[in-house]
Structures are given as structure tokens and as C-alpha cells.
Amino acid sequence: MRLTRLQTNAALACMAAAIALSANHCSSTSSEDGEDVVSSSAPVSAEWSPAEWDIVHSLSPLPALPNDTTNVYRDSRAAARLGQKLFSEPRLSGPIQTGTPAEGQLGAIGESNKIACRNCHMPESGWLIDIRSNNHGPIPNATALGSLWMTRNVSSLVNTVFYTAGTGRGAAHWRENDGFSDSEWFDAQSEPEGPPVQNGSRLQLAHVIFEHYRADYTAAFPDWPLDPGLADSTRFPATGSPYTDTANWNGLNARDQDIVNRILTNYGKAMEAFLRTLVSRRAPFDRYVAGHRGAIGHEAKEGLRLFIGKAQCIHCHNQPLFSDDQFHVIGLRIDTAKSPFASPDEVGRSANQALICDPSVAGADFSVNGPYSDDRTTGRDGDFCARTIPAGLWRTKGLRQIAETGPYWRDGQAATLEEVIDFYDLGGDPVGTYLGGPKEIQPLHLSAREKAQLVAFLRTLTGDPVPAHLVADIHNP
């Protein structure tokens, strides 16, 4: 659908008014992280109407870190350091189930203690993505290879802490492309015992922490000392969880299950503290909005104009992360010719209700309303558990550092930004070729130059790299 200029201006004015209600137009000269901030009373560039500028200004700078009250250790330096150590810890992983060295697998079938978080979220990539994949390395497709081939692409971890639907204590923190979990710490603790990922277990994790990280854990979580009984392998077997080696797990009494669950929870909270250090600011776009008018070129500015106007990207890619943190149907057909291990049958958002809402499911204990949350009164999951959620809903991805973090889509089937823009220009794939609907996008009728201008703008969203010392391998021997 193409809008007339009058309709476009009216829509922009309406959107600007809505955004102004939630935007934090700070009048100071810098944020707590040193980011340049332009005053709301600063002169508006002659390149933009007041309505347009309000929208542009709502996209920058990145705010202060969200205040996640469900994790009281979120800003603990000791917890962040423990999280950094465990990010590089391969002893959390169980047996490798598939893959070869030629495909980038990290060991032989059946070998354990080979896969750390950093092996898929690779610091050497610059943005903590998997550079083994697609055109960057030997893996012949675009999804991740952990213990098994996974159905999803590896996303960057940089700036993911800003995935929140708004600001304030009740703002939702849904994680992953499908809203797998409702907090950073819940999401992080799923990786060690996920069979396709590290294929370990929570008992294995508890033993690794007890045997190799006791001092680090005590420094990070002084309120939760490790139980000396963890030295007893009869009482606490080497492996076991509700998902693998279930007999070992079910053989624990309720108190000992709680001891292990608390260690798993604190692992997740340490990882959240670590993720909160992985922030990239001061992209050229941010410098432009802050008043450095030459920070981006003419073609990028025209791309920005398209982004908030004709191309309609702003309707979903808004807020400073360039994501509304909501879930939409865009009509994407999963192409297994391009991404052989992707699944056309994945339903997205609706698959996760039981994990969070059903008390009989093991994961429900770790929701923001559960016994391991440090604030069970946030209400930030809204009416999620009462809703009927249709198939095909996937979260809006943030666009910061997007030019550096391909391949794209949840399964990585698009190699370039140009392919992504072509998809949106066509209004998505034909009805009946994808799960869910109706689609929320329509054809845009962009010219070749307009597509190139959008790419030029997207390339201005890459900020400063994360300092190398924050992602260095410091795991304990």
C-alpha cells in the first residue's frame, strides 16, 4: 500500500505524538554511559519536519540499562565476572550428538566437555555471532551447530539487554525470536541443558560450579552458599535434569532439587549480569541525532526518511533498539534449500505458553512470577497466560549492528540486507507458503535507489565494539 504525501504527513504527526508520550527526551548532555544526548529543545534540522524529527529523535540514544527487579544481582560485578567465566566454560556440556570437524563441530560424536557459549556466540566475530555459518566458514547452512543441528540462526548478544517492551518495572523482557522466556536469567539458564545446544544438565552444572567456581560463586551470591553435600556423588549424581537422565533427577528429594535449581537460577542471573556489560553505543546514527550532522551521508539520511515514511519500517522497528519487542506475522516461508536444518513447522510465540504458564512444567518455576524470581509482583508478563496465541508470531529483531550480523531471519536464510529489503518490498511470501496470518506487511514498491538508500541507513546503526577484555576467555582451570 502506498500512502499519499498528505496521508504520510498525517501518519507521521500521529506517530510522533504517540512516541512523544513514551520517549525519554533528556535535557542533559550525556547519559550515564557517556552517550551524547541532544536536548528536546535543540534546534530541529532543516532536513526534517518537526513531526519527522520527533520520530527520529525517539530512536536515539540507547537509554540506561533496564532495571530488572527480578534479578537483584543484575549489576553485581562479581556476578558479571562469574558470568564471563562460565560463558567460556566447556565442562557444562554433555555428549556431542552430530556433526563433523569439517562442518565446524567441536569434537567427535560422544565427546563431552567441548561446547561453551563462546563457541557459537564467537567473540572473534566482533558481535558474538557464529562465523562458522553460511558464507563465513565450513558449515553449509545458516543455522547453529551445537550438540545437534539447531533450527535457528545464532543472534548477536550485544545490546540484547535492551529488548524490553517500553520502560519501567512492568515492561516485558521477552527473550528469543519466539519469546521463549520472560527474563534474561531464565533464558540464559536453558542453554547448558538444552539437548541441541550444550546437552548438559543442571546436576552437571552444579558440580562444575562446586568443584571449579566455589569462590567465584560465593563472591557473586553470598546469600546462597553452596551446600557442602554437593561433594557427595551418591546424594547428587554427576548428571540429571527434568529433561535428561531423569531417573537421577527424580531420585533427588525436594530439598536437594531446590539446591540444584537455585544454582541453575544463579547461573542464569550471573549470565544476565554479564550480558548487561555487552553494550555498544555511539553509532554514526546516534552521533547524527546528537547534533553531528555530518556523521551520516546524504544517501543514509534519505534511507532514514524512507525508514520512517514510505518503507514503513518504523511501525515495528521503533524505540532505540529499533524493535517494538512485540510479535508479528510477516509471511516468511522457511526455505530449507537455503537452510537445510530449519523447520517450516515452527509455530513461534504460541509454543511457549506451557513453559511459562503451566505449573506442572519444569520451566514454569523460573518465570518472573515463580519462586526463584527476586520480584514476583512486576506484572510484566501481562495477560500472556490468559491469551489465545495464534501460530506464526515472531519477535521484531533489533537493528543495531545489523550490517555486521548476517545472515538474516530466524533461520539465517537471507545472506544480505538487500535480500531482506527485497522481501519486504514484495510484501512477504505468498499466502499459504508460511505458517500463520494474516500478514502484517504489504508491498512497498521501492525503487532500486530507494532500496540502496535503506541499506545505507542501516549501515549507520553499528556502534562501538564491545571492549575485548569483557569477552576474553577467563574460565577457571
Indicate if the pLDDT at residue 53 is higher than 90. yes
Let me know whether 229 and 287 are in one domain.
no
Q: Which of 113-122, 162-171, 307-316, 419-428 has the lowest mean pLDDT?
A: 162-171
Query: What is the per-residue pLDDT across 201-234, written as a single tens digit (0 to 9) for each?
Result: 999 999 999 999 999 999 999 999 999 999 999 9
In order of 170, 183, 237, 365, the CA distances from 68 in angstroms are 9, 8, 34, 18
Amino acid of residue 262: R
**Do the domain assignments include residue 213?**
yes
Q: How confident is the model at residue 137 (pLDDT cuts 50, 70, 90)?
A: low
Same-domain pairing of 225 and 88: yes
Q: What is the pLDDT of residue 134?
A: 54
| 166 or 447, higher pLDDT | 447
- Confidence band (pLDDT; 50, 70, 90) for 2? very low
Same domain for 340 and 219: no
Domain assignment of residue 477, yes or no: no
Question: Does the residue 234 lie in any domain?
Answer: yes
Percent of the chain at pLDDT exceeding 90: 78
Is the predicted pLDDT of residue 366 greater than 70, yes or no? yes
DSSP-assigned letter for residue 328:
E
Q: What is the per-residue pLDDT across 321-337, written as a single tens digit (0 to 9) for each?
A: 999 999 999 999 999 98
Residue-level pLDDT at 102: 83
Interatomic CA distance for residues 305 and 316, integer angstroms: 15
Asked whether residue 155 is domain-assigned, the answer is yes
**pLDDT interval class at 35 (50, 70, 90):** very low
The DSSP element (H or E) to which 395 belongs, if any, is: strand 394-395
Q: Give the lowest-confidence range in 42-46, 74-78, 335-339.
A: 42-46
Q: Which three cell numbers stand for residue 121?
A: 556466540
**Is the preceding omega at residue 43 within 30 degrees of 0, hence cis?**
no
Mean pLDDT of 370-396: 92
Predicted local distance difference test score (pLDDT) of residue 140: 57
Position 42 scores a pLDDT of: 46
Q: Identify the residue with better confidence: 342 or 31.
A: 342
Q: Is the distance from CB of 97 to CB of 200 less than 8 angstroms?
A: no
Q: Are residues 99 and 170 located together in one domain of the fold? A: yes
Task: Indicate whether 95 and 234 sit together in one domain.
Answer: yes
- The domain tally of the chain equals 2
Prior bond of 438 cis (ω within 30°): yes
Co-location of 157 and 189 in the same domain: yes
Segment 188-198 shows an average pLDDT of 95
Closest CA to 182 of 455, 355, 381, 397: 381
pLDDT of residue 384: 87
Residues 132 and 234 in one domain: yes
| Range name among 123-127, 132-136, 238-242 with the lowest pLDDT average | 132-136
Residue 142's alpha-carbon distances to 149, 221, 474, in angstroms, are: 10, 38, 29
Residue 165 phi/psi, 5-degree rounding, is: -85, 80
Q: Tell me the pLDDT tens digit for each residue of 412-422.
A: 999 999 999 99
Q: CA 284, CA 460: separation in Å to the nearest integer?
A: 5
Q: Does one domain contain both 53 and 119? A: no
Structural domain span for residue 201: 77-278
Residues 271 and 285 in one domain: no
Of 166, 168, 167, 163, nearest in space to 180 by CA = 163
Residue 459's pLDDT band (cuts 50, 70, 90): very high
The grid cell for 270 is 550471573
With 80 as the cut, is the pLDDT of residue 66 above it?
A: yes
Q: How far lies 385's CA from each of 83, 137, 173, 177, 345, in Å?
A: 30, 41, 15, 18, 23
**pLDDT: is 92 or 382 the higher one?**
92
Residue 150 belongs to domain with CATH number: 1.10.760.10
Last residue of a domain, one of 242, 262, 278: 278
pLDDT for residue 9 is more than 70 = no
Residue 136 — pLDDT band, cuts 50, 70, 90? Answer: low
pLDDT value, residue 358:
84
Q: Mean pLDDT, to the nearest integer, of 167-177? A: 87
- Domain assignment present for residue 175? The answer is yes
Domain-embedded: residue 256: yes
Residue 403's φ and ψ, nearest 5 degrees, are -70, -20
Residue 474 burial (C-beta neighbours within 10 Å; 0-12, 13-18, 19+): exposed
Q: Is residue 357 part of a domain?
A: no
The domain boundary residue, chosen from 247, 278, 309: 278
272 and 294, same domain (yes or no): no
Among the candidates 278, 302, 332, a domain finishes at 278
Mean pLDDT for 109-127 is 97
pLDDT score recorded for residue 14: 45
Averaged over 2-26, what is the pLDDT? 41
Q: Which of 13-17, 59-63, 96-100 has the lowest mean pLDDT?
A: 13-17
For residues 104 and 91, what is the distance between their CA atoms, to the nearest angstrom?
19
Using a 10 angstrom Cβ sphere, with 0-12 exposed, 13-18 middle and 19 or more buried, the burial of residue 218 is middle
Q: How confident is the model at residue 31 (pLDDT cuts 50, 70, 90)?
A: very low
Q: What is the pLDDT of residue 133?
A: 62
**129 and 257 inside one domain:** yes
Please tell me the distance from the alpha carbon of residue 277 to that of residue 227, in angstroms, as a whole number.
29
Task: Enter the C-alpha cell of residue 337.
Answer: 534449500
Residue of 395, 323, 381 lying closest to 353 (CA atoms): 381
Whether residue 28 is predicted with pLDDT greater than 90 in this model: the reply is no
Instruction: Tell me whether residue 466 is in a domain.
Output: no
Does 56 share its domain with 192?
no
